[in-house]
Amino acid sequence: QVQLVQSGAEVKKPGASVKVSCKASGYTFSNYAISWVRQAPGQGLEWMGWISVYNGNTKYAVRVQDRVTMTTDTSTSTAYMELRNLRSDDTAVYYCARDLWELHETPAAFDIWGQGTMVTVSS
C-alpha cells in the first residue's frame, strides 16, 4: 500500500542539527512532491517547505528558510529534512506528506502522511 515511514524520535541540544527521513513505498516516488509540516506540542500545523522529487525544486517557509534543507534520494525513495541551529521552539512532531497530484507544479493538498517524528530540543 502507499505509505510514508519516518525515522524515529530525536533529542538534540540547542544549536545542533537534526535530519529526519521519510521513506516512500507503494507508488512512483519521483512523480510526487513532498512537503514537510511540523506541529509543536498543543499547537496547530505549520508548513515548512516543499520539494519536487521530479526536478529537485524547493520552496521553504520564511520562518525556517535560513536553517532548513530538503532533499531526496530517488535510489532509496527517501526524502530528508535537515534543520540546523536548533532552538527550543523547534520542539515538535515533524511530518512528511505527499502531494495529492502527480507531477504538479505547486502543492494542492496532501493525501498521504508519515506517522510523524518527535524532535525534542533541550539542553
Interacting positions 16-45 with other proteins (CB under 8 A): 35, 37, 44-45
Query: How many chain residues bind other proteins (CB under 8 A)?
Result: 23
Shortest distance (Å) from residue 71 CB to other proteins: 18
Give the CA diameter of the chain: 42
Backbone phi, then psi, for 29, in 5-degree steps?
Answer: -55, -45
User: Which of 38, 41, 40 shows the shortest CA–CA distance to 61?
Assistant: 38
Binding segment (CB under 8 A) for other proteins, from list 19-27, 69-77, 80-88, 93-101: 93-101
β-pairing verdict for 117-121 and 10-12: parallel
List the one residue from 62, 66, 75, 89 that touches other proteins (CB under 8 A). 62
Under the binding rule (CB under 8 A), the answer on residue 46 touching other proteins is yes
Count, residues in the chain: 123
The radius of gyration computed from the CA coordinates of the chain, to the nearest angstrom, equals 14
Instruction: Provide the binding-site residues for other proteins, judged by CB under 8 A.
Output: 35, 37, 44-47, 50, 59, 61-62, 95, 97, 100, 106-111, 113-116
